Amino acid sequence: MNFAWEIFLSVAFVYAFLSAFTTLFYKGKPVHSLGGGERDILYGRATIPTRISIFFINLLSSIVAPPVYIISLFIILVYVLIKRYIL
């Protein structure tokens, strides 16, 4: 299953990109639980270096983040089921 790593890395990249360049993950969280860079992204004050640092932090932390593994596992499971039973 070589494609599993490709899917995991793709999900990790999308997760990091969304967290660095959108407010999607920060809207429902209390402001006091966010870091300085995350607050800047939420309020639209983040500079490009801040966004890039948040991107790399989230990309590296996705190695231990359960949502990335769960989403990757779901995509792989759907792919295997479609390949086995439909194609």
Position 46 scores a pLDDT of 95
Spell out the per-residue pLDDT of the chain, length 87, in tens. Answer: 578 888 999 999 999 999 999 999 899 899 999 999 999 999 999 999 999 999 999 999 988 888 889 999 999 999 999 988 887
Q: Of 38, 13, 36, 20, whose CA–CA distance to 28 is shortest?
A: 38
Buried-state track 29-42, b at ≥16 Cβ within 10 A, e below 16: eeeeebeebbbbbb
Given this model, what pLDDT does residue 1 score? 55
